[in-house]
Structure 1
Amino acid sequence: MKTRIVTLLLLLPLISYSQDATEIIKRVDAKMRGNSSSSTMTMKIIRPDWTREITMEGWSLGTTYSLILIKSPARDAGTAFLKREKEIWNWQPTIDRVVKLPPSMMSQSWMGSDFTNDDLVKESSVVYDYNHFIRGDTTINGYDSWKIEMIPKEDAAVVWGRIMIYVAKQDDIELLIRYYDEDNYLINTMVLSEIREMDGRVIPTRMDMIPAENPDQRTVIIYQEMEFNIDLSESYFSIQNMKRMR
């Protein structure tokens, strides 16, 4: 009995540490989503010899529903991506076709960028699909930050084998994220910057996704506007509504 008590006492700090890490990730996720949200953003795909720019609008309701509408360039305008629970569809108005994306496509490039389909529609949940562990602290761009490791749960259908996220202790701001595959190779690094207030929340408004194998290229997403806790219902996130949007 004494041995069991001693063992439990030794494990308590580790259990508490894991719970603290999960609470931090919950706060970070809730801060960027709200109960619901809308956003206007620009995505720049930057390559050594060319650059492509896409403007888009997005809406979300919790972690279950999201919708992204492409506004420009003209040839892509009206293209939309819809997530309802675990199902994702793509509307292509030029060919008048709705395509359901299989799970195998979640790791593929989104619109030719360095973001994956999973990154943009957030098919996996950083809160519920991963176990979280604080691995120490560090300083990122002058911010005293937590270093948190996220390991997928055994039954989670996720893209990444491991994620390292660096979160500023003040205001729970994401500053840096590193994505690893199942063999623990670094695949992408996301740098979050241009921190400012949007709709009463202090958040990063620029995200640079940089592939490890091609560090001379990147994809940048810049938020022009964000609103949180807006009036949205589940019915807004329908295939019919996705096809009507312009």
Structure 2
Amino acid sequence: MSKRLILFLAFSMYITGFIALAQTLTAKDIVTRCDEKARGKTSQGEMTMTIIRPTWSRSITMKSWEKGHGLSLIVITLPAKDKGQVFLKIKTEMWNWLPSIERMIKIPPSMMLQSWMGSDFTNDDLIKESSIIKDYTHKLLGKETVREMLCYKIEMTPLPEAAVTWGKVVIWITVDGFNQWKAEYYDEDMSLINVLNAYNIKKMGDREIPTQLEIVPVDKKNNKTILEIKSVIYDQPIKDNFFSQQNMRSVSQRIK
């Protein structure tokens, strides 16, 4: 058998295996790959959020740490009036440390759909209280091209017992790279509330991810919020006790 024929057969087997893998991916598989890529085992990074309104705008910078689906901590670094605020999520519970009054506030589940820091993101969006894998059923609606990217279009419907804030979420995940490229959020009456679009895929750490997320409320003209990821490191060890109420105060003080 010639070397050329061997190489041809090997390449054919590789392509056949790749196509077979792609054909067997379920909607849940696709969402899982996207979620695992975006989160990693752990992640820590810096972000800037710009809130845009018809007559004004303001920016908030923050640092974040996350471990799995159950542990998350965000600290505000700018502007000065919000500096040192800390948000902590442990499993399904969430707290906010306010350094100006040295007070810890527990955020109830009923407030997960409330605006986060006056933005168009909700508490659930930023702290990720719900799991897009465990709390929803997933249905592959097909493929669509969104802003020149071929995507899987997937409808996510919450499970009856899931404590989630949305009645339905439709997401578009890129075929090449498994990045969330667009999302539509519907309330319990199936009315479209927010549209999220991702942009600027860049290499961050060991992977390429969208570094700009823009969320637009459909019923509020000229309102939007842009979240820009400045840096992120994945899969560096973080101890569980970093995510504690005691550490919220320490992190806040270090920022000052």
TM value normalised by structure 1: 0.92
Q: Letter of the aligned partner of 2:66 in structure 1?
A: S
- Aligned counterpart, 2:120: 114
- Partner SS state of residue 105, structure 2: strand
- Partner SS state of residue 26, structure 2: helix
1:185 aligns with 2:184: no
- Aligned counterpart, 1:3: none
Map 1:1-246; keep pairs closer than 5 Å.
20-245=26-251, 246=255
- 1:136–1:79: structure 2 CA closer, same or farther, 3 Å change rule? same
- Partner SS state of residue 195, structure 1: strand
CA distance in 1, matches of 2:238, 2:221: 39
| Deviation (angstroms), 1:216 | 1.1
Unaligned runs of 5+ in 1: 1-16
- Partner SS state of residue 73, structure 2: strand
Unaligned runs of 5+ in 2: 1-22
CA distance in 2, matches of 1:141, 1:47: 25
1:160-208: CA deviation from partner (whole Å, max 9, x where unpaired): 0000000110110111000000110000000100111100211000000
| Deviation (angstroms), 1:61 | 0.5
Give the alignment's Cα RMSD to 1 decimal: 1.2
| Deviation (angstroms), 1:18 | 10
TM value normalised by structure 2: 0.88
Runs of 4+ with deviation above 3 angstroms: none
| Deviation (angstroms), 1:239 | 0.5
- Partner SS state of residue 172, structure 1: coil
CA distance in 1, matches of 2:69, 2:131: 7
CA distance in 2, matches of 1:49, 1:31: 37
CA distance in 1, matches of 2:24, 2:121: 28
Q: Is the 8 A contact 1:167 1:175 kept in 2?
A: yes
